Structure 1
């Protein structure tokens, strides 16, 4: 298991501050370029961004194998277009990570 660099807290804060909600319509050109990555609502978007920044291949491979992280599919893109969806986004160059808003039960 990899140890976290000492600046992990700073990186996590930076990523968190740069995370934003964007309409899918604004992300479609990036999707066309193949740079948009889906992150399951089961995962913490900031945590995934930090691990990608650290090139944590083991975690990324496990998430991909579990279907929790991967390139956005045409079906997802079409559904988000039809729903005029707004997604949480985080940029980890060259990728844009996207995650549907979590449904909060009251």
Structure 2
């Protein structure tokens, strides 16, 4: 095991946290149209999920997909956020944009 792993993970979390921002759903429409928006459940920590994507932890990401903790944005959700003129938390982990409803 890499003795620097905890420090590296902290660096990744810090970077992702700095890159996370509130953004209007309207500004994310083109990413939604491209199929690259992933919705993170309110029960999960957006930064932790982004770290899983960033470190290519496919086993954990698959588990979250199977449990419904993350889902690709669908038309129903997009329309709801459009109608609400919602703001969401967003962080880019290319090619994905991870979003979470603002609490």
TM-score greater than 0.5 by the shorter chain: yes
Q: Structure 1: how far apart are the matches of 2:77 and 2:99?
A: 11
Q: Structure 2: how far apart are the matches of 1:18 and 1:56?
A: 20
Q: Compute the displacement of 1:66 (Å).
A: 1.0
Larger relative helix fraction: 2
Q: Structure 1: how far apart are the matches of 2:74 and 2:63?
A: 19
CA RMSD of aligned residues (A): 1.5
Q: Compute the displacement of 1:43 (Å).
A: 0.4
| Equivalenced residues, count | 100
Q: Structure 2: how far apart are the matches of 1:45 and 1:81?
A: 21
Matched residue, 2:13:
12
Q: Structure 2: how far apart are the matches of 1:23 and 1:76?
A: 14
Q: Which runs of 4+ in 1 moved over 4 A?
A: none
TM-score normalised according to structure 1 size? 0.89
- Runs of at least 5 residues in structure 1 that lack an aligned partner in the other structure: none
